[in-house]
């Protein structure tokens, strides 16, 4: 019975937290602010208590998850409607490098040392502070940078070249299975797809790891 109870608690907790994530949206996943970090700890604790504490029932866990969801959702509504609350609840970006100079006071205020700053810069392909003109520490702990002109990559417009059109590749086959929604969006049928993959050198859909179509470039096929 104990194992059944653990299984049931995990299933209910999973469904509840999944539903909460759907309600609150993608920002809870992609932008981990200090408030979101606290939220993740609390939610984990709620499920953990229901799992290991015999005095905590599943209904108590669900009630706690619902209340916490309402609190977070209300907080999100407040920050969307009242701009003045965003600094308190979400924090604000900080300029840690300005005009090529490190702002040490801002680093101290954000409890960031030089080694950590160098690590963040390397994630943006900057291996020397001398390459950076501006660096902004975002509220989720990442850094956004602007390189000095001498270290920026030339663009097409720098060479006065004609701009190509931007096209999104469409995945038609993945793991040996046809993505029928994408096939329908392209107004292809299965026979058309089979003909295209045959022209690309594949004999069967099941033999294909991934196949994607891009306008102007045709079908790309990789076999297993």
Read off the pLDDT of residues 45-66 as tens digits, 9 standing for 90 and up: 776 776 666 676 777 777 777 7
pLDDT of residue 103: 92
pLDDT of residue 27: 47
pLDDT tens, position by position, 172-196: 999 899 999 999 988 999 999 999 9
Confidence band, pLDDT 50/70/90 cuts, at residue 155: confident
Confidence band, pLDDT 50/70/90 cuts, at residue 38: low
Long-range contacts of 28-31 (CB under 8 A, 24+ apart): 28/72, 30/140, 31/139, 31/140
pLDDT tens, position by position, 124-152: 999 999 999 999 998 778 899 999 988 88
Distance CA 172, CA 212 (A): 5
pLDDT of residue 6: 67
* pLDDT reading at 80 higher than 50: yes
Query: What 3-state DSSP class applies to 8?
Result: helix
pLDDT of residue 28: 46
Selection from 169, 170, 174 nearest residue 209 by Cα? 174
Selection from 42, 94, 96 nearest residue 69 by Cα? 42
Average the pLDDT over 91-119 and give the result: 90
pLDDT tens, position by position, 24-34: 554 444 455 55
In this structure, are residues 24 and 76 in contact, taking their beta carbons and an 8 Å threshold?
yes
CA 190, 194, 196, 200 dihedral sign is positive
* pLDDT reading at 37 higher than 70: no
DSSP letter, residue 170: E
Angle at 59 between CA 55 and CA 63, to 5 degrees: 110
Q: How far is CA 118 from the centre of its chain?
A: 23
pLDDT of residue 60: 74
H or E element: which one contains 1? Answer: none
Selection from 17, 13, 61 nearest residue 39 by Cα? 17
Residue 190 CA: distances (Å) to CA of 92, 172, 183, 217: 51, 10, 8, 20
Residue 122 CA: distances (Å) to CA of 21, 47, 111, 117: 31, 37, 19, 9
Confidence band, pLDDT 50/70/90 cuts, at residue 216: confident
Percent of the chain predicted with pLDDT > 70: 80
Half-sphere CA count of 72, side-chain side, radius 13 A: 25
* pLDDT reading at 36 higher than 50: yes
pLDDT of residue 39: 67
pLDDT of residue 180: 92
Distance CA 43, CA 21 (A): 11
Backbone angles phi, psi at 142, to 5 degrees: -85, 170
Neighbouring C-beta atoms of residue 210, cutoff 10 Å: 15
pLDDT of residue 62: 75
Percent of the chain predicted with pLDDT > 90: 30
């Amino acid at each position: 019975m104990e194992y059944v109870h653990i299984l049931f608690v995990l299933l209910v907790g999973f469904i509840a937290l999944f539903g909460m994530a759907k309600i609150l949206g993608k920002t809870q996943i992609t932008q981990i602010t200090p408030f979101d970090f606290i939220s993740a700890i609390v939610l984990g604790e709620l499920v953990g208590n229901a799992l290991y504490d015999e005095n905590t029932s599943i209904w108590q866990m669900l009630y706690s998850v619902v209340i916490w969801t309402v609190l977070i959702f209300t907080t999100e509504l407040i920050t969307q409607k009242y701009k003045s609350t965003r600094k308190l609840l979400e924090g604000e970006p900080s300029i840690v490098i300005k005009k090529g100079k490190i702002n040490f006071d801002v680093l101290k205020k954000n409890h960031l040392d030089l080694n950590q700053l160098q690590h963040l810069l390397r994630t943006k392909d900057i291996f020397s502070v001398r390459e950076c003109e501006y660096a902004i520490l975002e509220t989720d702990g990442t850094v956004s940078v602007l390189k000095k002109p001498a270290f920026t990559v030339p663009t097409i417009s720098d060479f006065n070249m004609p701009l190509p059109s931007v096209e999104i590749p469409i995945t038609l086959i993945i793991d040996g299975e046809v993505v029928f929604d994408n096939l329908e969006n392209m107004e292809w049928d299965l026979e058309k797809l089979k003909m295209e993959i045959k022209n690309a050198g594949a004999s069967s859909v099941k033999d294909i790891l991934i196949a994607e179509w891009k306008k102007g470039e045709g079908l790309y096929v990789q076999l297993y």
